């Protein structure tokens, strides 16, 4: 009879996790997934921002070159002969009484 009492006291586990252990594991998995997702988002944003930075630096260099060209033309624009050349070549302006003969290249 003693053996019967011992058998009653021993419970056989069904081979699973207890509820608190299961909840801790689920919470851990959720935290790991959220951290991995956040890391991926931050990494993607960083790559995109680096590409955008490179494009903006190239655009800045192009605009600085354009600005320097405009400033150089402005200095040259103060010269009367330069103004006359631009007026004649780009605007087809002439002095009163001048006659222009145009030829077509064939």
User: pLDDT for 23-48, tens place per residue?
Assistant: 999 999 999 999 999 999 999 999 99
Judge whether 96 and 90 are in contact, CB under 8 Å.
Answer: no
Average pLDDT of the segment spanning 74-87? 75
Question: pTM of this prediction?
Answer: 0.47
CA quadruple 59, 61, 67, 72: dihedral sign:
negative
Q: What's the DSSP call for residue 49?
A: H
């Amino acid at each position: 009879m003693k053996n019967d009492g011992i058998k009653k006291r021993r419970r056989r586990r069904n081979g699973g996790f207890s509820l608190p252990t299961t909840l801790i594991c689920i919470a851990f998995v959720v935290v790991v997934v959220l951290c991995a997702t956040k890391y991926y988002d931050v990494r993607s944003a960083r790559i995109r921002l680096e590409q955008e930075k490179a494009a903006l630096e190239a655009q800045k260099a192009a605009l600085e070159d354009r600005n320097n060209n405009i400033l150089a033309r402005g200095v040259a624009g103060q010269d009367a002969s330069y103004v006359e050349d631009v007026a004649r070549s780009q605007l087809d302006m002439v002095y009163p009484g001048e006659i222009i003969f145009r030829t077509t290249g064939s």
